[in-house]
Structure 1
Amino acid sequence: MTETASPQFHRFFNDPRWALAMVRATVLEAAHPQVGAALIDNSAFVAHPWRRLRNTLVSLQRMFGADEEVRQREAARLNRLHGRLNGTDAQDRPYDAMDPEVRAWVIATLFESSVTMCRLSGQPLDRATMEQLYAEFQAFLAALGDRAGHLPPTLREFWPYYDRMVEEELEDTEALRLILYRLFDHLPAPPLLDGVPTVWAAGRALAGPVLGTITVASLPESFRRRAGLPDTPGAQTLMHSAYTAAGLARFLPEGWIRTEHLTGLLSLTPDSDDPRLATLTALRDRARQAGALFRLVTPFPAQRDADSPDEAPRGADEFFTAVLDQTADGHLDWPDLAAMARELASRLDLDEPAETRLYDAFAQWWRELQSALDTDGDGRISREEYTAAVPSLAGPALIRVAETLFEAADADGDQFIDAAEYRALFRTGFRRTVADAGGRYSRSAFVRDFLGFMSGRMRSTAFDPLLADA
């Protein structure tokens, strides 16, 4: 994979226009019936979009980086992840995330949206640069092990392929509508801004519809008409202005805008030990003051007080929504627990067989939950079934999940989680109540805390950023 070391993708990766291009590419992916069905059935992107964004960007960095070993490791991880995503959609049509034609379309949307972002901002790529960029995306697909042919071999052949896919394959899927009209309008605050919900709600009320309008306007016109997407007056002007304005940020001093830094800031939690948090906390306090003013003059619904005690208990209904229902479809089923396993395995960057052991432990827990709580036998657990039982979840299978997670986090196998291992899982330093006198986290303490979180429904523990935050 020699082409991936070239600078084209990395130049775009830290380009502010890339954020708009990524959203556009995601919508085009979701319009493919197989991708849309996989997203609806398995993805946590609605309830946990910031987690999904960060994981996607980290994966792209690894796949387009210069380190061949890292690239191969990430490709193997992606293949294992995709291998678990298959089923049938609402029309009983099969979908499979390992389908090479589907994977080729995902890569095609990333490439075409990169080209389009330059064109829409008035700086179209020359042919040589476009050829080089296309070769990098072809190399991405090759690194996944997909044979040649599913993505056209030349740039000249790519454009007829792209037009054919848009005209013949894309649909007005449920996933597409969720992204455009639910995610943008109800985007949860990132962990760092969770303490200022009123300010976030006010900003989202303005920015959400604008982002949706820009994204729709950037889609191929023929698909917009076929899908019945609105043609908002002035949308084209707004779209070009947004791309142009984002492009101007490229002239800021180098290092001011780096994707990994921005996503890292967004994923910070209020109890993080990151040195940048002090400055950001001061900004949060100012924003909270502004939020108090907003509450006086706007009818936003009451929000949870960010200054409430750390260990305030969650009700069963809130716990179901915030932690268990990872896919935000109103039910608990295997994809929700698989999303938990996927996030934990990603954080720890697990290889086989540790990843499989973690998934197997969650699968056993799902069978235990289904047996105990699925009273109507429909294969899933409704919020009503869960809250009516108000179960104690600390059964044998959940204990096994806790033990398997500990073993995965305990990289050196010494039966303790040290500071570095703790940071790998929680992305922050030890809490005061976690480490023993030797600066370690014991197996028994870890299992106790995990079970307390999952059965006691306590918020703001070390596990909240893992499974509850957006």
Structure 2
Amino acid sequence: MTTAANGATRADTAPTAHEPPLFGPDSKFQGFFDDPRWALAIVRATVLEAAHPQVGAALVDNSTFVAHPWRRLRNTFLSMRRMFGADPAVREREAARLNRLHARMSGSDARGRAYDAMDRATRAWVVATLFESAVTMCRLSGQPLDQQTMERMYAEYRAFLASLDGDADELPAELRDFCPYFDRVVEHELEDTEAARVILFRLFDHLPAPALFDGAPTLWAAGRAVAGPLLGAITVASLPEAYRRRAGLPETPGAETLMQGAYVAAGLARFLPAGWLDAETVIDLVSLPEGSDDPRFRSVTALRDRVKRASALLRLLTPLDGGPEPDPASTAGPVPAAGRTEGRRSAEEFFRQVLDQTGDGHLDWPDLAAMARELSTRLDLDEPEETRLYDAFAAWWRELQAALDADGDGRVSAEEYAAAVPSLAGPALIRVAEVLFDATDKDGSGTIDAEEYRALFRTAFHRDLAAGDGVYGRSAFVSDFLSFMSARRTSTPYDPLLADA
């Protein structure tokens, strides 16, 4: 490959008439989107990313991957779809969104070392882990890539980095120089970070149930107890030996054989008819909230009923100490006139499920920033609407900190929150609700119509809203949002906004 003046390969900038575009349906990376092997490879890549001290610190401080892994997975998948799509305008817009998101993530790790999510060398390492894990995935499944395919795919990943950073200079220009670069970072820069340990030894063991398994905690817990350690062992065995040795990761007997068997088995999916596997459809189906109007929800409902029956049977066969599963109807409380299911949460539940977005046991600015990030992502906001929403959440954080941070440590503990039993509906939260309404009301009509409602809640109007003029007014929206955020009420459809896994 020849090299352009800015350090990116010429294939990155101007493919010839005989070369397929680096982005779009003909790209090599696009072919992995619906490949089951990619589920294993992406976990491996994430561990290698988290093992970098800059990435690890940013994940621990800012990421929702522990408390809301399914939401994080869906958002990451959709972002990659946009970045590797054929439309350059969509890629440019998504790259700008990602850069704004990363620009808001900086700080210091537990050892006082500064981190910055916009650090160019660190961003290059993230892209490098994706490329190397894709190559390793093919090798472990018995389908190694030939040299020409690897060259082509490496050009795609460098073009991806160039879309974010303006060039790809932080990655070697030639594929032959990539392995020495990768080995050097593994040997000299990666560490046994807290984030990497969480992914390997905590995330799988405590993975919250997706929406599909909400009504079957026993079945989910039983499956997770078996699958969690297996996934952890497979991931550890697939990591570079130099990192395993440096991080002191355990050598599990038989893990190498298990890991190779898992990749080979996942690779057999290539024999399935085309179209049978669609990652986006699978992710959507497991995360569809209760009561969704999605046409596929009828099938999901039938599957969810079978899951609940299997869970009940499992509990009868192997009763747990926690007592019988609660009947949702017994905890829901009265159904309001609007027809939506509501119930009361304890202060502890509200803190854990809604406020503590990062899952670290404390409420601080990254938690509210995660709320702003999720809402901005759902609504696909541009500047300046995104900044207005972040600013509103920042003002709310200052109000919360002043009211609840009793020991002055800059964050609010679950105990401080529960002891105060606060009414959170102050002026700053009202402002959050108003800004969110304006961001949702795309056409500026002063009401939220059915399409705008679906963009925010990912479901259609409830019957009470569809009645009459079929719109959602500002005062009703603000009142409902404040009721959910301050009264600690479970609420459909507000729960999936911030409390979903």
So what's the TM-score if we normalise by structure 2? 0.92
Question: 1:136–1:300: structure 2 CA closer, same or farther, 3 Å change rule?
Answer: farther
> Is 1:327 the counterpart of 2:358 in the alignment?
yes
- Please state whether the residue corresponding to 1:111 is helix, strand or coil: helix
Task: State the number of aligned residues.
Answer: 470
Give deviations 1:329-359, integer Å, cap 9, x for gaps.
Answer: 1100000000000000001110000000000
Question: Any conservation in 2 of the 1:453–1:461 contact (CA below 8 Å)?
Answer: no
The residue number in structure 1 matching 2:383 is: 352
**Alpha-carbon deviation of 1:250?**
2.2
The residue number in structure 2 matching 1:69 is: 89
The residue number in structure 1 matching 2:491 is: 460
> Is 1:241 the counterpart of 2:272 in the alignment?
no
Give deviations 1:410-457, integer Å, cap 9, x for gaps.
Answer: 000001111111111111111223345111111111101100100111
Residue identity in the other structure for 2:238: S
The residue number in structure 2 matching 1:301 is: 322
Distance 1:289 1:71 in 2: 44
> Is 1:253 the counterpart of 2:253 in the alignment?
no
Distance 2:311 2:210 in 1: 16
The residue number in structure 2 matching 1:388 is: 419
**Alpha-carbon deviation of 1:367?**
0.3
Residue identity in the other structure for 1:331: H
Question: Any conservation in 2 of the 1:83–1:97 contact (CA below 8 Å)?
Answer: yes
Question: 1:293–1:167: structure 2 CA closer, same or farther, 3 Å change rule?
Answer: same
Question: Any conservation in 1 of the 2:447–2:473 contact (CA below 8 Å)?
Answer: yes
The residue number in structure 1 matching 2:37 is: 17
**Alpha-carbon deviation of 1:125?**
0.2
Residue identity in the other structure for 1:100: R
**Alpha-carbon deviation of 1:304?**
4.5
The residue number in structure 1 matching 2:65 is: 45
User: C-alpha root-mean-square deviation of aligned residues, in Å?
Assistant: 1.2
The residue number in structure 2 matching 1:32 is: 52
The residue number in structure 2 matching 1:448 is: 479
**Alpha-carbon deviation of 1:251?**
1.8
Distance 2:89 2:83 in 1: 10
Give deviations 1:161-208, integer Å, cap 9, x for gaps.
Answer: 000000001000000111111110000001222111111111111111
- Please state whether the residue corresponding to 1:3 is helix, strand or coil: coil
> Is 1:180 the counterpart of 2:200 in the alignment?
yes
Give deviations 1:356-412, integer Å, cap 9, x for gaps.
Answer: 000000000000000011111110001011001111111000000000000000000
- The structure 2 residue matched to 1:416, chosen from 433, 439, 447, is 447
**Alpha-carbon deviation of 1:306?**
4.0
The residue number in structure 1 matching 2:17 is: none
Distance 1:328 1:426 in 2: 23
- Please state whether the residue corresponding to 1:459 is helix, strand or coil: strand
So what's the TM-score if we normalise by structure 1? 0.98
Distance 1:425 1:384 in 2: 32
Question: Any conservation in 1 of the 2:213–2:307 contact (CA below 8 Å)?
Answer: no
Deviates more, 1:249-258 or 1:164-173: 249-258
Deviates more, 1:185-194 or 1:122-131: 185-194
Residue identity in the other structure for 2:416: E
Distance 2:128 2:287 in 1: 29
Question: Any conservation in 2 of the 1:198–1:300 contact (CA below 8 Å)?
Answer: no
- Please state whether the residue corresponding to 2:288 is helix, strand or coil: coil
Question: Any conservation in 1 of the 2:49–2:125 contact (CA below 8 Å)?
Answer: yes
The residue number in structure 2 matching 1:196 is: 216
Runs of 4+ in 1 over 6 A off after TM superposition: none
The residue number in structure 1 matching 2:457 is: 426
Question: Any conservation in 1 of the 2:484–2:491 contact (CA below 8 Å)?
Answer: no
Distance 2:185 2:286 in 1: 35
Question: Any conservation in 1 of the 2:41–2:133 contact (CA below 8 Å)?
Answer: yes
Question: 1:304–1:322: structure 2 CA closer, same or farther, 3 Å change rule?
Answer: farther
Question: Any conservation in 2 of the 1:337–1:366 contact (CA below 8 Å)?
Answer: yes
> Is 1:3 the counterpart of 2:22 in the alignment?
yes
Question: Any conservation in 1 of the 2:45–2:133 contact (CA below 8 Å)?
Answer: yes
Question: Any conservation in 1 of the 2:66–2:203 contact (CA below 8 Å)?
Answer: yes
The residue number in structure 1 matching 2:114 is: 94
**Alpha-carbon deviation of 1:461?**
2.2
- Please state whether the residue corresponding to 1:433 is helix, strand or coil: helix
Distance 1:137 1:37 in 2: 24
> Is 1:286 the counterpart of 2:286 in the alignment?
no
> Is 1:336 the counterpart of 2:367 in the alignment?
yes
Question: Any conservation in 2 of the 1:365–1:401 contact (CA below 8 Å)?
Answer: yes
The residue number in structure 1 matching 2:9 is: none
Question: Any conservation in 2 of the 1:100–1:146 contact (CA below 8 Å)?
Answer: no
The residue number in structure 2 matching 1:58 is: 78
> Is 1:110 the counterpart of 2:130 in the alignment?
yes
Question: Any conservation in 2 of the 1:196–1:306 contact (CA below 8 Å)?
Answer: no
Residue identity in the other structure for 1:293: L
Give deviations 1:101-155, integer Å, cap 9, x for gaps.
Answer: 0000000000000000000000000000001100000000101134332111110
- Please state whether the residue corresponding to 2:381 is helix, strand or coil: coil
**Alpha-carbon deviation of 1:275?**
1.7
Deviates more, 1:436-445 or 1:393-402: 436-445
Question: Any conservation in 1 of the 2:120–2:165 contact (CA below 8 Å)?
Answer: no
Deviates more, 1:83-92 or 1:301-310: 301-310
Deviates more, 1:143-152 or 1:115-124: 143-152
Unaligned runs of 5+ in 1: none
Question: 1:215–1:264: structure 2 CA closer, same or farther, 3 Å change rule?
Answer: same
Residue identity in the other structure for 2:94: E
Deviates more, 1:300-309 or 1:87-96: 300-309
